[in-house]
Structure 1
Amino acid sequence: MFDRDTEGFQCFRIPAVIEARDGSLLAFAEARRPFGDRFCHDDGSIDLVMRRSDDDGKTWSTIQTVLSGDPWGRELGATRGNPEPIVVTRGPHAGRIVLLSTWNVEGSRTERRPFAQYSDDHGRTWSAAVDLTEQLKPGFPAEGWYATGPQHGIEMTNGPHAGRLVAGVNFLGPKSGESEGGIAYSDDGGVSWELGATAPMPADADHFAEVGVEETADGSLYAIGRSRKGPKSEEAREFSRAAAVSRDGGQTFESERFGYQRDLITTPEVQGSIVNVARASGVAGDRLVYAAPQHGTLRKDLGLFVSEDGGDSWDHAADLTRNRSGYSDLVMLDQEKVGVLYETGLESGDARDRIVFQLADLNVD
């Protein structure tokens, strides 16, 4: 559905997917132009684009540009990336889709700013993007890494914080100097935001990034990011994910650091995505699904894992492809079917060749 060397772009990466309140699926991606002599470069001129499906992913619309260009109209190339859409179902903004993203000048990562925009017509039109730097980078230096998602964010459904919008973020800690994960939240339908819980990566990790968040039945938030300990290898796969839990709506984590989720045996140093199975019914439970590649050194062999206890433990559930595979996002179509939007390519190719949408049956009892 998003193929390299089409639509005037060199490639498409960083998928995110949601179901709008009108039942349509919205698939977001970064549309990347050539930059130097490296294929599909992270730092090039990038637009955020979207396709829509009204038949549960069987067919998709033409590409719609959601965000592009310099925020202040300067003659500078812009990297608009890390799409993190959230569907609002409660309150005065019910039906709204909020989209978090990041910006930096093409070719430079020194200044990374988070932005937010919204749609009140199920993704057909979008507001101007608003700079959230003062809200989501309090006390941070002007320069330094900052990323939203990438994957969908959520609206909480249980406990005293029901209705709160929650998004995973990742950044270079202004005090620790380490890669940290955090939770951003909004209590007014995405109009204003706060940076809540933050924690550094595991003490012996060599890499940590890209945090996804899901809610569990008791209203806790389970945050999980990609990690790496030592060189990539089959043995290192049990140190490829690190998680932390918040019991107060995302304001603090109960641990000082993220800790390895060692029963998720996945590829080190590549994004994974998470969804609560009960999202399809509107109230979060304790059954979670996680998607990530599984090979020890290559981005390939995308699989699904299931937790029945809110992320405390995980079991392998299904293999989706043995081809190249990378970043992904998940959306529940009903209690049994999960839609997987993921990067892929043939074994002889590259995981960045295409983004495809595939349905998987979880065989829920």
Structure 2
Amino acid sequence: MAYESSVPYRAGTEGYTSFRIPAVVRACSGHLLAFVEGRVSSAADSGTIDLVLKRSADAGRTWGPLQVVARNGTGTAGNPAPVVLDSGRVLLLQVRNAADATEDRIRRGHVPPADGRRIWLQHSDDDGASWSPPREITGQAKLPHWRWYATGPGHALQLRHGPYAGRLLVPANHSTPPTDPQDSGAEPRYNGGHALLSDDDGATWRIGYTDSDSDSDTDTGRSVAPNETTAAELPDGSVYLNARNEAAAAWQRVDAVSTDGGEHLVRPFRPQAGLSGPAVQGSALHLGDRGALLFSGPAHPSARALMTLRTSRDGGLTWRTAHTVGGLPAAYSDLVRLDRDTVGLLYETGDFSAYSTITFRRIPVEEPT
């Protein structure tokens, strides 16, 4: 079956060398908002990087002009984590750092805090047509000893069910220094996952659960180290969390569940062997009325390729392949519900490189369920 697709972003166009790190949400009006990082001079993860947006009024078939939502001078504004509130307001969490603050330098403690990863927030009350000035929330969102930090990337949540309905939950990750203070420039002790929570529509924030290299073995010393995390609310109000695993282990994904709105985890992150694939970001989305939990990500065992939708009928305990999107190179992705019958997938792909385009694909719900 042929699925409708469009290409909102193509590398080497509109003033940007590369577009990466997609995130997509559906506004209350029905407009789709597709956020990415616009990388000015190279495809590298640091340097001059803007947060840009394209909007679609026809469910992803065509896209409007590029808008620059956030610019950090010659530095980086990235890791978009948008969420649509019940009021219609769209919040966009993001991180910022200096242009020369590479991930390795930040992790090793070679970057002063003012130039390192800091967390900012913007909002739009007109479906993304215009945006508020950015507001920094680093003091509420990041512990002083954390070094690397990333929001999402991908859509965040406003919980809809149970006693925590209305709460905002933004999956995020961090790293910490080595345990030996004499070895301050060494590799960080671990990657850790955590959640940012707000109970007042984003006016104030706090840190919810935190988890790190929570499961160790005698060969590696650590086997679970959650990194880029995606979240989905299940029908009973619990939150399913799935993360990229940075530990040296055979499995590349780990998952966990929270039953108190992201304050704590029922158990630490543990391996999820049902989602085989390379070390890469992925996206989770629960279909609600259809009863299925979806996950998007490359399914090739070692390469960023073979973008695939997988589905679970038991809250993420077991998974099966539902739809192979394509056999081409592919990397980061984000899922969005378009209507009762269709989901949308915004993902990195290309004929010979996963980073040639950001493509949008419409997929009937019947197939991935």
Using structure 2 for the length normalisation, give the TM-score: 0.87
- The number of residues matched between the two structures is 334
Q: Of 311, 315, 325, which aligns to 1:310?
A: 315
Measured after TM superposition, the shift of residue 206 of structure 1 is: 7.2
Measured after TM superposition, the shift of residue 151 of structure 1 is: 0.4
Indicate conservation of the 8 Å contact 1:173/1:200, yes or no: no
Q: Does 1:170 align with 2:181?
A: no
Q: Of 35, 38, 49, which aligns to 1:28?
A: 35
Deviations 1:270-299 (A, max 9, x none): 111111112xx7xxx852110000112211
Q: Of 72, 86, 97, which aligns to 2:90?
A: 97
Q: Does 1:294 align with 2:309?
A: no
Indicate conservation of the 8 Å contact 2:22/2:37, yes or no: yes
Q: What SS is found at the alignment partner of 1:128?
A: coil
The aligned residue for residue 76 of structure 2 is: 79
Q: Does 1:53 align with 2:77?
A: no
Measured after TM superposition, the shift of residue 213 of structure 1 is: 1.0
Q: Of 354, 358, 363, which aligns to 1:355?
A: 358
Measured after TM superposition, the shift of residue 230 of structure 1 is: 4.1
Q: Does 1:149 align with 2:152?
A: yes
Indicate conservation of the 8 Å contact 2:329/2:350, yes or no: yes
Indicate conservation of the 8 Å contact 1:286/1:309, yes or no: no
Q: What SS is found at the alignment partner of 2:339?
A: coil
**Code of the aligned partner of 1:34:** S
**Code of the aligned partner of 2:359:** V
The aligned residue for residue 74 of structure 1 is: none
For the structure 1 residues 175 and 197, does the alpha-carbon distance in structure 2 shift closer, same or farther, using more than 3 Å as the test?
farther
The aligned residue for residue 123 of structure 2 is: 118
Gapped runs of 5+ residues in structure 1? 71-76
Instruction: Give distance in 2, aligned partners of 1:175 and 1:277.
Output: 41
Q: What SS is found at the alignment partner of 2:360?
A: strand
Using structure 1 for the length normalisation, give the TM-score: 0.87
Q: Of 323, 339, 343, which aligns to 2:328?
A: 323
Instruction: Give distance in 1, aligned partners of 2:132 and 2:223.
Output: 39
- Aligned-pair Cα RMSD in Å: 1.8
**Code of the aligned partner of 2:241:** A
Measured after TM superposition, the shift of residue 208 of structure 1 is: 3.7
Measured after TM superposition, the shift of residue 336 of structure 1 is: 2.9
Deviations 1:74-110 (A, max 9, x none): xxx2110000000001xxxx00000000001002143
Instruction: Give distance in 1, aligned partners of 2:248 and 2:198.
Output: 37
**Code of the aligned partner of 1:14:** I
After superposition, residues 1-365 of structure 1 pair within 5 angstroms as 1-35=8-42, 40-70=43-73, 77-89=74-86, 94-109=87-102, 110=106, 111-138=116-143, 140-141=144-145, 144-173=147-176, 177-201=189-213, 202-203=215-216, 204-205=222-223, 208-227=226-245, 230=248, 236=250, 239-255=251-267, 257-267=268-278, 269-278=279-288, 286-346=291-351, 349-363=352-366
Indicate conservation of the 8 Å contact 2:192/2:225, yes or no: no
Deviations 1:119-145 (A, max 9, x none): 11111111111111110113x22x610
User: Bigger shift: 199-208 or 302-311?
Assistant: 199-208
Q: What SS is found at the alignment partner of 2:123?
A: strand
Indicate conservation of the 8 Å contact 2:20/2:348, yes or no: yes
Instruction: Give distance in 1, aligned partners of 2:166 and 2:299.
Output: 34
Q: After the TM superposition, which segments of 4 or more aligned residues of structure 1 sit over 6 Å from their partners?
A: none
Gapped runs of 5+ residues in structure 2? 1-7, 107-115, 180-188, 217-221
Instruction: Give distance in 1, aligned partners of 2:291 and 2:157.
Output: 15
Instruction: Give distance in 1, aligned partners of 2:194 and 2:313.
Output: 24
**Sequence identity of aligned pairs in percent?**
38
Measured after TM superposition, the shift of residue 333 of structure 1 is: 1.1
**Code of the aligned partner of 1:134:** G
Indicate conservation of the 8 Å contact 1:47/1:65, yes or no: yes
